[in-house]
Structure 1
Amino acid sequence: MEANRKSRRSKLGYRHLQCLQLFIGFGLLFASRVNISIAIMAMMDKNTANPNFPEYSWSEQTKSYIFSSFFCGYVLLQIPAGGWARRFGARLLMLLSIGINSLLSLLTPLSVSFGDWPLFCVIRFTQGLSQGLLLPALATILTKWAPIEERGSMQTFTYTGGPFGIVLMLASSGKLCSSRWGWPSTFYLPGALGLLWSVIWFVYGANTPRDCRHISENERAMIEESLTAYKEKDKGVIQRPPVVVPWRSIVTSTPFLVLLFNYCANDWCFWTMLTQIPTYIKSVLGKDINSNALFSALPYLCFLTLSLLLCPLASWLEKSKLLHVTVSRKMFNTIGFWIPALGFVSLGYLHTDQADLAIGLLTTAIALSTNLYFGYSVNHFDLAPNLAGTLVGIANCFSSFMGILAPLAVGFIVTDTKNITQWRIVFFLSGAIAFFGNLLFLLFGTTKVQWWNEPLPTHYEAEQMKHLVIGHRNVIVSTAGRTSQKIQTNQIDN
């Protein structure tokens, strides 16, 4: 029977089709998030692409408003979306997230022609709202579909859909802007594909294997057996009701504050590079929009490749115990922050005639930041495994504000896109934030489980525990009384 179960787990099943749908949906959302990085250059300068489409005279500050408006909506629904996914079902939330986002993407060119950049900001803000539903829904549905033995691999595959979508969108945006369909096609393509995905998801998607009509009985039984076996590991242990989250202890914990700063530092660098690098390549390095798109995609292609290569290495280091887990976390974090920081600083001193070197530095810096997945990114599991979800929700919510602040800061600093001195300030700022983020992690970061991982019981729990103690004491007293009475009877008989 055990051999049969193992053989069933090794086969491809309907759960892998679900995982593939999640991978594609995640990639489409990221594609509709980053398409603006290339499209906005064609929208502001029609001579760089197909000149038959409208041009808009927006300032760099206005452009920063457009970039930031997405994240203003993105940060609002992430925390409540977790509760909605449990209450209404993750399938519905994913359908709404990708469906609404795709429809708005199709309406973007029309909205810009009618309402200029203010209506453009409204569209991007609403897209941010819809995409804020995705991650909580994605996490919820994976916990229902992924057997314990496959959870890591299925989650890794699903989340690589994001970098995959970035690579495809950035690589194709230049050709799309220069084609006869012009810059609107960069919004039409992910929008149309997203609506097609929504139809397929409506037919084949399901919250749980039990809700799915297409899955085989054997596969459904295997998934449920795996999840049930995991839950029954603690069989015989008193199951406590939910505890009160120790908010004060969390927000005053030095290791968690260091973790939060690292989240923010990474998001600042990531969104600065993703949204501004195409403009830097065009204005400073003098690359046309076609080569610009390819060069913009290259760092993320290397990022995606390196992340897949590092997974087995990190797993081997952890299992072999060659390095203490704290040393491993800090080593990966240092590679992921300090080497890119050095690259950012070096970029500030390059000129147009050093374009190849600049592209190489950009690619190296962004690709090596994948090491952060094995540094601070998993530290919440170390600090408080019982509260890891809460820590991620707090950190991801706050770090999302960097997607708002970073483009605004660039728009304030860079008033002339061809001024290398202004770009030098942008790169120095990103390098300094990355440097101090890792420095704090080296000094104060830890993998020790924090004392607040086991929060104090609620009043309800305390009452239940008191009743258990009283009941146990009454049993002891009753048993002792019967024993005493039996001893007295024996003495009389004797």
Structure 2
Amino acid sequence: MTAKSVGDTEVASSEGGPLNPPGTVGTRHWQIFLMFLGMMMAYALRINMSVTIVAMADSSSANVDFETYDWNEWTKSIILSSFFWGYTITQLPSGYLAQHWSAQRLLSIGMFICSILNMLVPLAAKYGDWGAVCACRVGMGLSQACLMPSLHTMLSKWVPPTERARLGTFAYAGAQFGTVIAMPISGYLAASSIGWPSVFYVFGTVSLLWTILFYICGADSPAQSKMISFDEKKFIQHSFNAESTKSEEKHVTPWVNICTSMPMWAIIIAHCGQSWGFWMLLTEIPSYMNAILSFDIKKNGLMSALPYLTMWLLSFPISWCSDYALKKGATRSLVRKISNTIAHWGPAAALVALCFAPADNVVLVVVILVFAVGLNAGSMCGFQINHIDLSPNNAGSMMAITNCAAAVVAIVSPLIAGVIITDENNVSQWHIVFYLTAAIYFIDNLIFIIFGRGEVQWWNDPSAKKPLK
């Protein structure tokens, strides 16, 4: 028999061969890569409308041969927010199904439906105008609500605690990568000879291909995987023993304990602040660049994607530094709070600086926007992964709760932007939005610093009793 030390856990192989160490590529890494691709396609489907809606409402910015619609700013804000109407409704049911049925099958089915509805958007616009487009987007939200609860549930079973920041961040980074590819590709397709409808057809088709791949090759956990080696399975199981995680056991979710936990509320507030800032900027940056910086749709899509490319690239050194700090003895709580501070107070400072930058200095404005969005990469090692820190057994349900609250904020943020910005060419109105977003970023992170925690909570184990004070 051989043994290998993993953190504080001694991991042994009964077959006499070496265990799969953290640095070796194994089945868990393949599963994480599939999750990364799933996040990438989910966000590509979710945000391609942010760029395409510019061409759908203004033919002069794209291919003039395709039909456009007389949509004002309020109508466009409703269309952009409608995804989250459905997304909010099915968060909690998705969390329950992911935890008690199958996260892998739930995500496969949800993304299949979402892909089909995305491909129906051009027909909906042609025959039903903006109301039918909203209906498609609501349906996409309903079906994609399973994304984060499913991923969190699978991550809690596949990723050892010692690799949590790196592998968890890589999976979540698919969101930024999906944004990076969706924005410029959407811009180029909308301006091409095949026009803006091709945006929905191309991304819908690629997403369907991923759905088939994930349904065949994905697995809920190492115990259900047919590809994993014995040694790697043992490595993962023994790694979880240090947290007393019963990841394969069915248990009753402690809803009351979760909802009355202050560290949980710290995550909820941080997630809502993140949702406000992320979706406010994501949905409004293309319009800002079109109206204030006078970019055509090709350049608009490319420049709008640049901040998210920076965010994606920064996610890797930040996640590595987080795991390195933990190995060197830093507490998990401290690491999560520092990461979240970079993610929220950094962009807050950048947005304030943006209000003082001359609007005609395009290079400076774009650089500040890159910082405002790019530093947000720290959130993946901050509040996002903190769900699993607090309770690996209930991570999917916890993500469903926080994501439900965050989805409500995502509905409100573009609508409020539509109320504030009555004239897209008025830079002062844009400054109001930037100041408001900076204030929300500052307050939510302050609460996370004060009340956030990094250790496993007593209610993670359903057989545990509440500790005496």
TM-score computed with the length of structure 1 as normaliser: 0.81
Equivalence for 2:230: 221
Structure 2 match to 1:259: 267
CA contact (8 A) 2:394 2:460 kept: yes
Using the TM superposition, give the Cα deviation of residue 134 of structure 1 relative to its aligned residue in structure 2, in angstroms.
2.1
Distance, in Å, in 2 between the alignment partners of 1:33 and 1:426 is 22
Q: Distance in 1 between matches of 2:243 and 2:369?
A: 49
Q: Which runs of 5+ in 1 are unaligned?
A: 462-494
Structure 1 counterpart of 2:107, one-letter code: M
Question: What does 1:166-205 correspond to in 2, within 5 Å?
Answer: 166-205=179-218
Do the aligned partners of 1:73 and 1:126 also contact (CA within 8 Å) in 2?
yes
How far off its partner does 1:197 sit? 2.2
SS of residue in 1 equivalent to 2:19 = helix
The answer on whether the counterparts of 1:209 and 1:220 sit within 8 Å (CA) in structure 2 is no
1:400 partner SS: helix
| Consecutive unaligned residues in structure 2, runs of 5 or more | 3-15
The residue number in structure 1 matching 2:37 is 24
Kindly indicate whether residue 301 of structure 2 is the aligned counterpart of residue 301 of structure 1.
Answer: no
Residue 116 of structure 1 deviates from its aligned partner by 0.4
Query: Where does residue 90 of structure 1 map in the other structure?
Result: 103
- 2-structure distance, mates of 1:330, 1:9: 25
Map 1:30-41 onto structure 2 (within 5 A): 30-41=43-54
What residue in structure 1 maps to residue 435 of structure 2? 428
- C-alpha change, 1:59 and 1:157, in structure 2 (3 Å) is same
Cα offset for 1:260? 2.1
Quick check: 2:251–2:462 contact (8 Å CA) kept in 1?
no
- Displacement of 1:56 in angstroms is 0.8
For residue 47 of structure 1, the aligned residue among 53, 57, 60 is 60
Q: 1:272 to 1:327 in 2, by over 3 A?
A: same
TM-superposed deviation, 1:436: 1.7
| TM-superposed deviation, 1:435 | 1.7
How far residue 41 of structure 1 moved from its aligned partner, in angstroms, is 0.4
1:194 CA displacement: 1.4
Show the counterpart of 1:110. Answer: 123
Cα distance in 2 between the residues matched to 1:377 and 1:47? 40
Q: Which has the higher helix share?
A: 1
How far 1:118 moved relative to its partner? 0.3
Whether the 8 Å contact between 1:35 and 1:170 is mirrored in structure 2 is yes
CA distance in 2, matches of 1:325, 1:155: 15
CA contact 2:336–2:381 (8 Å) conserved in 1: yes
SS of equivalent to 1:353: coil
Residue 128 (structure 1) aligned to one of 120, 123, 141: 141
Contact 1:246 1:452 in 2 (8 A): no
Q: Name the CA distance, whole Å, in 1 between partners of 2:217 and 2:80.
A: 34
CA distance in 1, matches of 2:446, 2:157: 38
* Shift in Å, 1:357: 0.9
Q: 2:354 aligns with which of 347, 350, 374?
A: 347
Is 1:274 matched with 2:282?
A: yes
Give the AA of the match of 2:349.
L
Identity %: 38
User: TM-score, normalization: structure 2?
Assistant: 0.85
Within 5 Å, which residues of 2 pair with 1:453-472?
none
Q: Structure 1 pair 318/200, CA: closer, same or farther in 2 (3 Å)?
A: closer
Deviations 1:205-258 (A, max 9, x none): 444566666x3xxx44234434554577799x9xx99567262x6545554433
**Matched residue, 2:70:** 57
For residues 346-400 of structure 1, the C-alpha deviation after alignment (integer angstroms, 9 at most, x for no partner) is: 3234444111111011101111122233334444456566655544332222111
Deviations 1:275-296 (A, max 9, x none): 0011001101111111111111
Shift of the 453–31 alpha-carbon distance from structure 1 to 2, 3 Å rule, reads: closer
Question: 1:67: which partner in 2?
Answer: 80
The letter for the 2-side match of 1:158 is: A
Equivalent position SS for 2:361:
helix
Aligned to 1:404: 411
Contact 1:380–1:391 under 8 Å retained in 2: yes
**What is the root-mean-square deviation of aligned Cα atoms in Å?**
3.3
The corresponding residue for 1:316 is 324
2:92–2:397: 8 Å Cα contact kept in structure 1? no
Tell me if structure 1 keeps the 8 A contact 2:156–2:395.
no
What amino acid is the match of 1:46? S
C-alpha displacement of 1:143: 5.0
Residue pair 2:273, 2:444 contacting (<8 A) in 1 also: yes
* CA 348–33 in structure 1, closer or farther in 2 if over 3 Å, else same: same
Letter of the 2:319 counterpart: C
Aligned counterparts of 1:259 and 1:7: Cα–Cα separation in 2: 33
Helix, strand or coil for the counterpart of 1:50? coil
CA distance in 1, matches of 2:103, 2:318: 30
| Higher RCO, 1 vs 2 (CA within 8 Å, ≥6 residues apart) | 2
Aligned length: 451
- The letter of the residue matching 1:348 is C
Q: Which residue of 2 aligns with 1:481?
A: none
Counterpart CA distance in 1 for 2:243 and 2:60 is 66
Structure 2 residue aligned with 1:289 = 297
Amino acid at match of 2:53: I
* Cα distance change on mapping 1:130 and 1:205 into 2, 3 Å: same
In structure 2, give the amino acid aligned to 1:221. F
Paired position in structure 2 for 1:418: 425
